[in-house]
Amino acid sequence: MSSPQCVIKESGYSPELFGYEEILKNIEEAVEKLDSSARSNIAIIGDPFSGRSELLHKISELCQGRESKIFFSRLVGDENFLHIIEKSGDIVLVDDCQLLFSRKIGGFRKLDLFLNIVASSNKLFITTWNQFSWNYLRFLYPLESIFSFRIELPRLGQMELKNLVMSTCEWQMTFVEDKKIRKDQWLVFSELPVDLTLFKRTLRIPVPRLDYSALRSRFPAKIGSSEPENETSVEDRVFQRLKDASEGNPGVAKAIWKRSTPKAEGSITPEDIIKPQYKIDLDYDQAFLLYNILCMECVSVEELTGIIGHNANVNRFIQDLKRTGLISIENELLSIMPEALHSIERYLKSVRLVC
């Protein structure tokens, strides 16, 4: 039985890449070494929504004329993918290698075959991997010797995120100051919900939080300089907040930007950029299910049932996760919500499912 196929993810990262120019240059050099004995297979490792697939698209453009074969995630689930690799050119690009395995007994067969081919072939393999899956698999397989050239996608900076979101912005955006909040206000208050189970009520406690960009503007730009840092513009503060909220992940930044910018209005204030807060409280089985969705990025209910093993529970767990806004279901495939990525990661670290 073939595994469910997965569509190429809509991470929303534009074809124009921002911030990964240096990586592309390194890969170009590696491709140039293909004919030499110094060939080394490449693993591009990144978080969900970090733009791995888009980077691979860009790499395929670099390989034009080298009889490359682009091999995307929709094919990884295909049982015949090994034959396709064998017939392909001397450069093989494989996206979403985390879909080659499933965390269950007998779930590593395709990955075993694939890694054997990669280790023994003369072709150059350029592959992309989910960070969490890679961190799990590297203790089971000698991935670091098979893929001797590894690239971990970095977090994007403020300017790169700005270029990214503005390149896809369909309307003229104006950046305005929120009149209610002073721009030099470095201490802001947000509300923390606290459940009072005894009284069956939720109390909202104001919690002070530092606005780093406002605080930074109060100190000298350089040590020894008596001049305070040049006052940051509203636009810069918007993108600083976007960087802080998305933690430099392009897909997450785009999702937060989309939520923060209503289409009808063409203006945005720094305070409009809000990182959604998720209150995650799951039992261990639910957390393990969420971990698998995080690792695979795009997975069917059938596949998850094979991993968890209890059909009724899986459906209930999925509905619970959907209700809390942590995952989305599209075409019967489950994936995590980009805005929830970092909350999920922190939660799974707290229950020790993520190292």
Partner 1 sequence: MTNVDVISGPVKSINASTILTSLGMLFLAYAASRISTYVLTRLSEWKFLNVFGLNRITVKILIPLLKFAFYFAAIYFILASVLNIASDELILFSGLLGAGLGFGLQGLFADVIGGLLIVVERPYQIGDKVTMGGHYGEVTDIGLRVTRLVTPDDTMVSVPNSTIFHNPIANANAGNLEMMVVIDLFIDPGCDATLAMDILREALVTSKYVRLSGKHKYVILLKAFPFYKRIRVKGYVNDFRYEFPFETDVTRRAWQQFRRAGIRPPRMILAEEHTYRGEPGI
Residues that bind partner 1 (CB under 8 A): 103-108, 136, 139-140, 284-285, 288, 307, 309, 346-347, 349-353, 355
CB of 73 to partner 1, least distance (A): 22
Residue with the two structure tokens 């911030």 = 19
**Which H/E stretch holds residue 31?**
helix 21-32
CB of 139 to partner 1, least distance (A): 4
Separation of alpha carbons 224 and 57, rounded Å: 47
What is the total residue count of the chain?
Answer: 355
CB of 207 to partner 1, least distance (A): 14
Separation of alpha carbons 129 and 160, rounded Å: 22
CB of 287 to partner 1, least distance (A): 9
**Toward partner 1, which CB reaches closer, 139 or 199?**
139
The CA radius of gyration of the chain, in Å to the nearest whole number, is 23
CB of 108 to partner 1, least distance (A): 7
Separation of alpha carbons 210 and 185, rounded Å: 9
**Toward partner 1, which CB reaches closer, 43 or 354?**
354
CB of 336 to partner 1, least distance (A): 18
Helix, strand, or coil (residue 315)? helix
353 C-beta neighbours (distance < 10 Å), count: 18
Q: What is the DSSP letter of 339?
A: G
309: left (phi over 0), alpha (psi -120 to 50) or beta: left
CB of 288 to partner 1, least distance (A): 4
**Toward partner 1, which CB reaches closer, 53 or 292?**
292
CB of 274 to partner 1, least distance (A): 21
**Toward partner 1, which CB reaches closer, 18 or 347?**
347
**Toward partner 1, which CB reaches closer, 112 or 177?**
112
Amino acid at 86: E
**Toward partner 1, which CB reaches closer, 108 or 175?**
108
**Toward partner 1, which CB reaches closer, 176 or 307?**
307
CB of 104 to partner 1, least distance (A): 5
Separation of alpha carbons 98 and 73, rounded Å: 9
- Of the candidates 325, 283, 329, 272, the one whose C-alpha atom is nearest the C-alpha of residue 304 is 329
Can you read off the two tokens belonging to residue 219? 């100190």
CB-count burial class (<10 Å; 0-12, 13-18, 19+) for 105: exposed
**Toward partner 1, which CB reaches closer, 20 or 136?**
136
- Of the candidates 11, 50, 29, the one whose C-alpha atom is nearest the C-alpha of residue 154 is 50
Please name every residue paired with 192 in a beta bridge, in sequence order, or none if there are none: 205
**Toward partner 1, which CB reaches closer, 269 or 343?**
343
Contacts of 246 (CB under 8 A, 6+ apart): 161, 252, 253, 256, 275
CB-count burial class (<10 Å; 0-12, 13-18, 19+) for 196: exposed
